[in-house]
Structure formats: structure tokens, C-alpha cells
């Protein structure tokens, strides 16, 4: 087993890894920026090292400082979490060249799956179904036009070097292709330093379903079933659940077999996720995330398998003792990403001091949080504050439990996405499982501010308080001029 692990991340995933380390008897080292000096992950680790100023480019993305910290504190492993440096092959390679264990896949596997066109070719060679399109970067707009005619419109242009919605354009007609190609390439260059794009047929309304895989260094690979991730905004997931409402046992077996084949094709080790698009009974490889996923807790809750513990055990060279036939799925789990964003103002980031934080509790409720009362939420980092996860015997019971949990959550000081999540969990189409990646666009009413009786009462009381404050200021000014008044608006109007 590893002796001491540096966690090269922040927020809730850093807290999650530190807790797993403590359970396994591994000492942990946190790293932090000046903005995170008193953060939860810093307080929870055995040791902590300051990396630099608040901007990530001067702290969490400084590979040299992270490696220096690992060496100085006597670490033998580095866990990258997700985001920041987690899927950067040069970082994984630098960790290994420094004589440390990278808790994740090899740099070669990260590179193979990070290059989307290379990954598509590898999947085709392994017999994994892919969306019709190219397995190479397009030379120019003319090349794109020729491929689009062959594949058939609508098509999607996608960045070859990355994901997350960057460098992605949907094209419905040939006359739109040239400008879309130029803008996608330009955005890809800015986001990933590589302007290469490829093309594939655009599926109008697929579901986004992913398969969790787990592999050791001894050739053993298993899958842990699927997660439904179709509730997205601008290609960013917002609500995830396991199992998917539409996946049957035979379909799970087929998708799981394809995911294992995909992992084996690139010599994968550790935890990873193979993402598919699903439509009309067929599924197609989308990409592989070569790291632990934000939504991993829903898989943990339905399978009973601790993924982060296994990440650390596999990195230490242990053999995966869980066989495919040992994996079972019990009940239903749902995760809501609680972010510091205002859903009624286009999800604008919300910064400020968290004056009050009361997480929900009770049976089947899990709160993976990265903040506490008194923390300052800045605009320097991802807005994810915590993950609220529930588990129950059935999907209906899980939805009801999540609604209850969201109703108990109290956050004062910043706006959060919680009201949006609650409205989704109550919406008839979601409850029936009738959803795909267009769900939010098809339900714009979910993003309209909801004025309830309680909200109206709160606004009325606030208005009364402001009016009284204004009256007192005017009374004080009159008193200064010798025209004092002893009347009270509260007595006159019956306020209490």
C-alpha cells in the first residue's frame, strides 16, 4: 500500500480522496492556493503545502511546484482528482519520471483517449460502435464539406484534442459548414492549443449514458454498470443517476462488454468512464474520461464498491479481487451538482461569503461537500460547491428523497443551482424517464424564476423593513432640524 499521497486538487474531490486515504491508513498531503488557505480539504489533510496565488495557472496548474511539494514531503503517490491536471498526459508522465506513483491510467492511455480521432480509430479497430464520421482530423473546410455529404446532414464538428463542449458546432446545411468549421477550429485552438477538428453525424435527440470501468495492472478489467447523464446544459452534466431508466439487463451487458473492450484496447488501468450516445436501441462510443468522474458516487451507492479506495489500491499494485460476476446493482441513486450559480440568470456564477450552510441529512442521503460556513466562494475556480446524492429502493423513491433533501438544504450568501434541481425532480417528463440531452432546452420554464407564496411574503416583509428604515432616516433628519416625531410606523400600521 502507498504510504503518503499528495492530492493535486481542491474542493470536494480533494476531500473525497483524503477521506479514502485516511481509511486505508495512507497519509495525505493537500496543496492549496492563497484563496484556499482555510479550505475544507486543507484542514482535513495530514499536511498541506501552499502552491501560490489564487489563479489556477499560478497554483493548481503548476506541475513543478506540485512535484516539488511531493518530493519535499516524502510522498510516494499523487492523486490528480478530476479537472485541472487529471487528464494531462505530460503531468502523468512527469509524476512517474519523478519516481512517484500516478493514481490513474498511464500517460499513454491518457494520450490515446485524449486525441479524439485516435480514440475513434482505436474503438473501430476494437469493434466498439462509433457514430459514423471521420477517424482523422479534417484538412480544411473543403475536406469537411466532402465528408459531410458522405455522412449526411446534420453533422457535428468536434475538437480533436478535447471536449466539454469546446470547439463543437452543429451544422444542419452545407452553406453553414465553412463558417462553422472556422469558428470550431478557432475555439479548439484557444481551449486546447490545437485547432484540429473532426466530423461525425449529429444525432438529434440521444441519451448520454456512460459505463464505469475498473482495471488493475494485471490485465483484469470489469464494468460497474451505467449512469444516465442526459440532463445537461451546454454539454455540462447537471443531474446523474444509476441505473438508467431505459437500460435493460441485456443492453447493460452489451454496453459493458463494449466499455471493457475500449479500455483493453488502450491498455487502461485504474478507474475510468466510457461514454456513449444511445438512441433507438443502439449505442455509439463518444469518448473515454481517463479519471474518476464527478458522478462516481451514484455507482458506488448502487454497487457498494468504493471507487476511490480501489483507485488507491490498484495504484499500489494490488490485484482487483472483484470479478464481473460479483458486481450487482441494488436500488437507485441520483446525484445533483450543487453549484454557486444563479439558474434564473443564465447560470451566472455567484461569488461571496457563505454565511449559512445546512446540508440535508437522513436515511439514504450523502453530502460530498468542499465548502463550509465562512468560506469565500471566488470566481477563480469551478463553481461546484458539493454533490448531493441519494439512494433508495426505487427510482420513484429516490426522486422523492432528493426532493426532500433539496428542500432541507440551506445556503445563504451565494446563489445555488438547488432550486433548479428541485424543479427538475418534480417535472413530469423527468419523473417518467422521458428525457434526452435536449431536456433543458425543451423545458425552458425550469429556468424561469418561480414566485411562490413564501417568496411573495418574504418580499413583502423586506419591502416593509426597507420602508421603515427609510422612515426612521427621515425622522432623524427632521429631529436634527428641530422637528422631532415620536410616531412609529409599526404601531400605525399594525406591523409586528
Rounded Cα gap, residues 273 and 268, in angstroms = 11
Which member of 88, 233, 291, 422 is catalytic? 291
Rounded Cα gap, residues 426 and 130, in angstroms = 34
C-alpha cell of residue 453:
407564496
Rounded Cα gap, residues 101 and 5, in angstroms = 9
Rounded Cα gap, residues 161 and 103, in angstroms = 23
Phi, psi of 478 (to 5 degrees): -65, -40
Q: Is 169 a catalytic residue?
A: no
Written as one string, the DSSP assignment of 172-231 is: -SGGGHHHHHHHHHHHHHHHHS---EEEEEPPSS-EEEEEEEEE-TTS-EEEEEEEEEEE
CA 61 centroid distance within chain: 18
CA dihedral angle for residue 271, residue 277, residue 278, residue 282, rounded to 10 degrees: -100
> Degrees (nearest 5) of the Cα angle 279, 283, 289?
120
Q: Cite the beta strand spans of 340-383 per DSSP E.
A: 341-342, 348-349, 352-353, 356-358, 365-369, 376-377
Rounded Cα gap, residues 201 and 284, in angstroms = 11
Q: Which residues contact 430 (CB under 8 A, 6 or more apart)?
A: 231, 399, 424, 439
Measured on CA atoms in the order 20, 22, 26, 30, is the torsion positive or negative?
positive
Enumerate the active-site residues: 291
Amino acid at each position: 500500500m502507498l504510504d503518503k499521497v499528495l492530492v493535486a486538487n481542491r474542493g470536494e474531490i480533494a476531500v473525497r480522496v483524503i477521506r479514502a486515504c485516511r481509511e486505508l491508513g495512507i497519509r495525505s498531503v493537500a496543496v492549496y492556493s492563497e484563496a484556499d488557505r482555510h479550505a475544507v480539504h486543507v484542514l482535513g489533510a495530514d499536511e498541506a503545502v501552499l502552491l501560490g496565488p489564487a489563479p489556477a495557472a499560478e497554483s493548481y496548474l503548476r506541475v513543478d511546484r506540485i512535484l516539488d511539494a511531493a518530493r519535499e514531503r516524502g510522498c510516494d503517490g499523487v492523486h490528480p482528482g478530476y479537472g485541472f491536471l487529471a487528464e494531462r498526459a505530460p503531468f502523468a508522465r512527469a509524476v512517474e519520471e519523478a519516481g512517484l506513483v500516478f493514481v490513474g491510467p498511464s500517460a499513454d492511455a491518457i494520450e490515446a483517449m485524449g486525441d479524439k480521432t485516435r480514440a475513434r480509430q482505436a474503438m473501430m479497430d476494437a469493434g466498439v460502435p462509433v457514430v459514423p464520421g471521420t477517424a482523422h482530423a479534417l484538412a480544411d473546410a473543403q475536406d469537411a464539406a466532402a465528408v459531410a455529404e458522405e455522412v449526411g446532414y446534420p453533422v457535428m464538428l468536434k475538437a480533436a484534442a478535447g471536449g466539454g463542449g469546446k470547439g463543437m458546432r452543429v451544422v444542419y446545411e452545407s452553406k453553414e459548414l465553412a463558417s462553422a468549421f472556422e469558428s470550431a477550429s478557432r475555439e479548439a485552438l484557444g481551449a486546447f492549443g490545437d485547432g484540429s477538428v473532426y466530423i461525425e453525424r449529429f444525432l438529434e435527440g440521444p441519451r448520454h449514458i456512460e459505463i464505469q470501468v475498473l482495471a488493475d495492472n494485471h490485465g483484469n478489467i470489469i464494468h460497474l454498470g451505467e449512469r444516465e447523464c442526459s440532463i445537461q446544459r451546454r454539454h455540462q452534466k447537471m443531474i446523474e443517476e444509476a441505473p438508467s431508466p431505459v437500460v435493460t439487463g441485456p443492453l447493460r451487458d452489451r454496453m459493458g462488454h463494449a466499455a471493457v473492450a475500449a479500455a483493453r484496447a488502450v491498455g487502461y488501468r485504474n478507474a475510468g468512464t466510457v461514454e456513449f450516445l444511445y438512441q433507438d436501441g443502439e449505442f455509439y462510443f463518444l469518448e473515454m474520461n481517463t479519471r474518476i468522474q464527478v458522478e462516481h458516487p451514484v455507482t458506488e451507492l448502487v454497487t457498494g464498491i468504493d471507487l476511490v479506495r480501489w483507485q488507491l489500491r490498484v495504484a499500489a499494485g494490488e490485484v482487483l479481487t472483484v470479478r464481473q460476476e460479483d458486481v450487482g446493482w441494488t436500488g437507485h441513486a441520483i446525484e445533483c451538482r450543487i453549484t454557486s450559480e444563479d439558474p434564473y440568470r443564465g447560470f451566472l456564477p455567484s461569488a461571496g461569503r457563505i454565511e449559512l450552510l445546512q446540508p440535508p441529512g437522513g436515511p439514504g442521503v450523502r453530502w460530498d461537500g468542499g465548502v463550509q460556513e465562512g468560506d469565500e466562494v471566488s470566481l477563480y475556480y469551478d463553481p461546484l460547491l458539493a454533490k448531493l446524492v441519494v439512494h433508495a429502493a426505487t427510482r420513484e423513491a429516490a426522486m422523492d428523497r432528493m426532493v426532500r433533501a433539496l428542500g432541507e438544504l440551506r445556503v445563504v450568501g451565494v446563489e445555488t443551482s438547488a432550486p433548479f434541481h428541485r424543479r427538475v425532480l418534480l417535472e413530469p417528463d423527468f419523473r417518467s424517464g422521458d428525457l434526452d440531452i435536449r431536456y433543458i432546452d425543451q423545458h425552458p420554464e425550469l429556468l424561469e424564476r418561480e414566485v411562490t407564496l413564501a417568496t411573495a411574503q418574504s418580499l413583502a416583509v423586506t419591502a416593509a423593513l426597507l420602508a421603515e428604515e427609510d422612515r426612521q432616516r427621515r425622522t432623524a433628519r427632521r429631529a436634527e432640524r428641530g422637528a422631532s416625531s415620536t410616531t412609529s410606523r409599526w404601531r400605525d400600521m399594525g406591523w409586528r
